[in-house]
Amino acid sequence: MGIVITAARTALPLPDETAASSVRLASRAAGDCLVDAGLSPDAVGVLINTGVYRESNTFEPALAALVQKEVGMNLDYLAAPMPVAGFSCDLMNGACGVLNAVQVAQALLVTGSTDRVLVTAADVHPGGRAADDPAYPYADLGAALLLERGTEPGTGFGPVSLRATDDGDSSAGTRGYLETAGMGAEGRGRITVEREPEAVRVERLVALAADTVSDYARAEGLGLDRTLVVCTPVGPHFADRLAWRLGLDPRSVWAPGAPGTAGGEPLTAAPVIGYLSAMERGLPPGKDQLLLVAAGSGPSVACVSYRSQG
C-alpha cells in the first residue's frame, strides 16, 4: 500500500493584498486541498510546512503552527466529536523540502500514526513583494499536498532519495541570509540571496541530478523509458541538459515554471507545481509514472517516483 496524493493546490497573492504572506498562501492552498477532497480540517492529523522565505523574516514561532491555526486544523481536539491531537512542524531544506516532507509523511502514514498529512510550501519576499526586489530570484507563491494511504496496489510514492555534496566551498550554490550588521531599521523586510555563476551552478546541479536519478532508477528497477521526469526549474535549459545526461528524449524531462502571474522562480513549491502540471497535461504516450526531482542549494538533489491511483 503506497502513499498517494489526494489533492494538490497552488496559491498566489490576491490582487487586493498589499503584501504577500507565506502563512496566508500556505493556508489558502491547504484549505483548497481540503475542499477538493471534501474533508474538514479536523480530518488531518499532521501538517508539515516547508517554506523558507517568510514575511518580515519571521522564524519564531514555527510558521507551521500559524498555518495550522489559519486552516482551523484541530484547534480544540478535546471538544471535537472525534478527538485527535493535531501536530504541526516546520521542515526546512530549501528546494528539496517538499520531498523531505513526503518522506516523513510516508513514515507517519505507513505506521498508522495519522490518517492524513498536509504538506505546505510557501515562499515570499520578507518585504512583502518579490517584484520590488530585482535581486531576489523567487516568486511569491504557495502550494500544498494532501497525502494519505492508497487503496490500489502498485500506486503512490516510492522511496525518497536524497543526495548532497559538500566540497568546502562556502560560495557554492545558493545562500539566502539577512545581513544583520547593516540591516538598519528596515532589516526585517530585507533579504540577500547570493548564487554562484549560473553556468557553474546549473552544471553542478545537472551532474548531481543525473547521478541521483540514474542510481535511483537502478536501485528501484525504475524504467526511465516509461517515466516522465519532472524537475525544478533551476536555470536555463536545465531539463534539456538533464535529459541529455540521462540519455532520454527531451520530451521526457520537464521543468515547469511558476503558475499564472507569479514572477520569478518557484522554490519550495516547485514539486507541487510539477505534479499539477503533469496531471493537467496528462502523461505522454508510453509513460505511466512520474519521477519528481528537486535540486537546490548545497548543491543537493532529492527524487521520488510516483504512480497515480486510477
Q: pLDDT tens-digit profile of 108-126?
A: 999 999 999 999 999 988 7
Q: For residues 117 and 225, state if they share a domain.
A: no
Question: For the residues 157-177, what does the mean pLDDT come to?
Answer: 73
The predicted pLDDT at position 170 comes to: 45
Same domain (yes/no): 148, 216: no
Do 121 and 180 sit in the same domain of this protein? no
Q: Are residues 17 and 104 in the same domain?
A: yes
Let me know whether 180 and 129 are in one domain: no
CATH number at residue 140: 3.40.47.10
pLDDT in tens, 225-242: 999 999 988 877 889 999
| Domain final position from 154, 185, 219 | 154
pLDDT category, 147, cuts 50, 70, 90?
very high
Rounded to a whole number, what is the distance in angstroms from the first to the last CA of the chain?
14
Whether residue 125 is found in the same domain as residue 192: no
Model confidence at 21, pLDDT cuts 50, 70, 90, reads: confident
The pLDDT, as a whole number, for residue 64 is 93
User: Under a CB-based contact definition with an 8 Å cutoff, are residues 146 and 6 in contact?
Assistant: yes
Q: What DSSP character marks residue 283?
A: P
Domain end call among 154, 169, 198? 154
Q: Are residues 241 and 132 in the same domain?
A: no
Q: What is the mean pLDDT of residues 27-36?
A: 97
Q: Which amino acid is at 181?
A: A
All three cell numbers of 116, joined, read: 492524513
16 contacts: CB under 8 Å, gap ≥ 6: none
What number is the average pLDDT over the span 43-48? 94
Q: What percentage of the chain carries pLDDT values higher than 90?
A: 52
Asked whether residue 175 carries a pLDDT value surpassing 80, the answer given is no
Check if the beta carbon of residue 146 is closer than 8 Å to that of residue 44: yes
Helix (H) or strand (E) holding 79: none
Shared-domain flag, residues 110 and 199: no
Task: Count structural domains, the chain.
Answer: 2
pTM here is 0.91
Q: How confident is the model at residue 172 (pLDDT cuts 50, 70, 90)?
A: low
Question: Cell 510546512 appears where?
Answer: 49
**Which domain does 114 fall in, by range?**
3-154
If asked whether residues 289 and 169 sit together in one domain, one would say yes
Pairwise pLDDT comparison (200 vs 106), residue with the higher score: 106
Do residue 177 and residue 237 come from a single domain? yes
Q: What percent of the chain has pLDDT over 70?
A: 85
Express each pLDDT in 264-295 by its tens digit. Answer: 888 899 999 999 999 998 888 889 999 999 99
**Do 91 and 175 share a domain, yes or no?**
no
Average pLDDT over residues 287-306: 92
Pair 134, 32 in one domain: yes
Residue 62, sorted as left (phi over 0), alpha (psi -120 to 50) or beta, turns out to be: beta
pLDDT score at 135: 80
Last residue in a domain, options 95, 126, 154: 154
Per the prediction, the chain carries an average pLDDT of 86
Among 16-20, 32-36, 115-119, which is the least confidently predicted range? 16-20
pLDDT for residue 194 is more than 70: no
The whole-number pLDDT of residue 217 equals 96
| 138 in Cβ contact with 267 (< 8 Å) | yes
